Amino acid sequence: MTDFHTHVLPRLDDGAKTVEVAAEMLRLSFEQGVKTVLATSHYYGKNRSPKEYIEARNNSYELLTPFIPDGMTIKLGAEVYLSERTPLQAEALAPLCIEGTRYLLIELPFVKDWEEVIYDKIGALVDEGCVPVIAHVDRYAAFINKPQRLLQFVEMGCLLQVNASAFLERGTKNFAFALLKKGYVHCLGTDMHDNKERKPDMAAAKSAIEGKGYTAEWSALQERMRAMISGEEWFMPALRPIKKIFGKFY
CB of 139 to Fe ion, least distance (A): 9
Binding span for Fe ion by CB under 5 A among 46-54, 58-66, 185-193, 218-226: 185-193
157's CB contacts (< 8 A; 6+ apart) are 126, 131, 132
Q: C-alpha angle with apex 94: 121 to 81, nearest 5 degrees?
A: 50
Binding mask 134-173 for Fe ion (x = CB under 5 A): ----------------------------------------
Question: Total residues contacting Fe ion (rule CB under 5 A)?
Answer: 2
Sign of CA dihedral 148, 152, 157, 159: negative
Q: Return the number of the residue (25 or 242) whose C-beta is nearest Fe ion.
A: 25
Least distance between Fe ion and beta carbon 194 (Å):
12
Report whether 80 contacts 105 (CB < 8 A): yes
Q: How far is the CB of 79 from Fe ion (least distance, A)?
A: 5
Nearer to Fe ion (CB atom), residue 162 or residue 242? 162
By C-beta, is 50 or 77 nearer to Fe ion? 77
- Of the candidates 114, 177, 105, 174, which has an alpha carbon nearest to the alpha carbon of residue 140? 114
191 binds Fe ion (CB under 5 A): yes
Q: How far is the CB of 187 from Fe ion (least distance, A)?
A: 13
For Fe ion, give the closer residue by CB, 23 or 134: 134
Which region, judged by CB under 5 A, interacts with Fe ion, from 146-154, 164-172, 189-197, 211-219?
Answer: 189-197
**120 contact partners, CB below 8 Å, separation of at least 6:** 88
Contact 168, 204 (CB under 8 A): yes
Rounded Cα distance, 146 and 85, in Å = 25
Query: Which is closer to Fe ion, CB of 191 or CB of 201?
Result: 191
DSSP tally for the chain: helices H, then strands E: 9, 11
Minimum distance from residue 238 beta carbon to Fe ion (Å) = 28
CB 115, min distance to Fe ion, A: 22
DSSP state of 101: S
Q: Which stretch binds Fe ion (CB under 5 A): 76-84, 126-134, 196-204, 239-247?
A: 76-84
Calpha distance 167→204 (Å, rounded) = 9
**Residues 91-110 within binding reach of Fe ion (CB under 5 A):** none
When asked if residue 13 is in the footprint of Fe ion (CB under 5 A), the reply is no
Q: Spell out the alpha helix ranges (H) of the chain.
A: 19-31, 50-64, 90-93, 116-127, 141-145, 148-156, 170-181, 202-211, 215-230
Which one of 75-83, 142-150, 206-214, 218-226 is the stretch in contact with Fe ion (CB under 5 A)? 75-83
By CB under 5 A, the residues from 205 to 234 that bind Fe ion are none
Residues that bind Fe ion (CB under 5 A): 79, 191
